[in-house]
Chains A and B, each alone.
Chain A
Amino acid sequence: MRNKIPVFISAFVGIFMILKYFSTYPAIKRVADELEQWGVITLSFSIVLGVLNLIKINLKAVVERKKDWGYKLLLLVSMFTMMIAGGVKWYLEEVRGRQVNQGLPLAVHDSLFDFMFDHVYFPLSATIFALLAFYVASAAFRAFRAKNLHATLLLIAAVIVMIGRVPVGGAIWKGFPWLQEWIMTWPNTAGQRAIQIGAAIGMIATGLRVILGIEKPYLKG
Chain B
Amino acid sequence: MTERNDKVGIWERWLSAFVSLDRRWIFLIVASVVVFFLIVPVSMPVTVSEQVRAMYETIEALPAGARVHLSIDYGPGSEAELWPQHIAILRQLLEKDCKVICSSLWTDGPPMIEKAFTVVVGQLEKEGKKKVRGVDYVNLGFKAGDRVAITKIGSSFKETFPTDYQGNPTSALPIMQGWDTYRDIDLLITIAVGDPGAVEYIQQAQSRYNIPMVAGVTAVISPQLYPYYQSRNLRGFLGGLAGAAEYEKLVGRPGYATRGMFIQSAVHLLIVGLVLAGNVAQFALWSMRRKRGERL
Contact = CB atoms under 8 A, between A and B. Distances in A.
Asked if the two chains touch in their complex, CB atoms less than 8 Å apart, one says yes
Interface of A: 17, 20-21, 29, 33, 36-37, 39-41, 43-44, 46-47, 93-94, 97, 104-107, 109, 114, 117-118, 121-123, 125-126, 128-130, 133-138, 140-142, 144-146, 155, 158-159, 162-163, 165-171, 177, 181, 184-185, 188-189, 192-193, 196
Given A141-B21, A155-B275, A167-B46, A192 B270 contact: no
B85 to A, nearest CB: 15
A145 B279 contact: yes
Contacts of A181: 49-50
Contacts, number: 171
Interface in B137-182: 143-146, 148-149, 151-152, 155-156, 159-160, 165-168
Contacts of A129: 77-78
A126 B77 contact: yes
A17 B147 CA distance: 11
Interface in B239-296: 242, 261-262, 264-272, 274-275, 277-279, 282
Nearest to B44: A167
Contact of B230 (A122, A126, A189): A189
Contacts of B166: 93-94, 97, 105-107
B148 A40 contact: yes
Given A138-B27, A162-B271, A168-B268, A125 B45 contact: no
Given A39-B148, A40-B148, A141 B227 contact: no
B23, B80, B118, B145: most-surrounded residue (chain A CB, <10 A): B145
A181 B295 CA distance: 42
Contacts of A185: 50, 226, 230
B148 A145 contact: no
B111 A193 contact: no
Contact of B143 (A40, A166, A188): A40
A165 to B, nearest CB: 5
A171 B165 CA distance: 46
Given A36-B151, A129-B78, A141-B278, A162 B46 contact: no
B223 A192 contact: yes
Contact of B26 (A94, A137, A167, A168): A137
B66 interface: no
> Range of interface residues on chain B?
35 or more
B64 to A, nearest CB: 26
A107 B133 contact: yes
Given A126-B76, A134-B26, A189-B226, A167 B45 contact: yes
B111, B144, B282: most-surrounded residue (chain A CB, <10 A): B144
Contact of A144 (B152, B223, B279): B279
B123 interface: no
Given A162-B271, A192-B227, A193-B227, A125 B144 contact: no
Nearest to B151: A36
Contacts of B31: 134
B227 A168 contact: no
Interface in B16-32: 19, 21, 23, 26-27, 30-31
Contact of A47 (B76, B144, B160): B144
A175 B197 CA distance: 33
Contacts of B160: 40
Given A46-B144, A125-B77, A166-B261, 11 more contacts: A21-B208, A33-B152, A40-B152, A43-B148, A44-B144, A44-B145, A47-B144, A105-B168, A129-B78, A134-B23, A167-B261
Given A44-B145, A138-B23, A166 B226 contact: no
A94 B77 CA distance: 29
B159 A141 contact: no
B107 interface: yes
B5 interface: no
Contacts of A169: 265
A83 to B, nearest CB: 14
